[in-house]
Amino acid sequence: MLLWLPNLLFNMVEYISKPLSHSLRLFGNMYAGEIIFLLLWMMAGAGIFGTASAVVLGFVWAVFHILIVLLQAYIFMMLTVVYIAMAHESH
């Protein structure tokens, strides 16, 4: 009877931490990918060789980035499904 308050606090931590971890993880992954794009295109300021290498490496990174985005979408979808399934379990 008296344990409802600690139980509520533990559940609130759980309810807040899952979306927060999702959003921070997604932000970090997106930010890192865009920073790599920016660093590659900054190579273009190094002259003709820098521009040529930035274009080639930028294209390679763009293809790799698309594959990473698809993998992240799958992982976040699965995590969301697992979290929703865990929320509907009966104890």
Per the CB < 8 A criterion, the answer to whether 43 and 50 are in contact is yes
Respond yes or no: is residue 23 known to be catalytic: no
Respond yes or no: is residue 21 known to be catalytic: yes
The catalytically annotated residue of 11, 17, 21, 23 is 21
The catalytically annotated residue of 11, 29, 53, 90 is 29
Respond yes or no: is residue 7 known to be catalytic: no
Backbone angles phi, psi at 90, to 5 degrees: -95, 140
3-state helix, strand, coil in the chain (%, to 5): 90, 0, 10
Residues acting as catalytic residues: 21, 25, 29
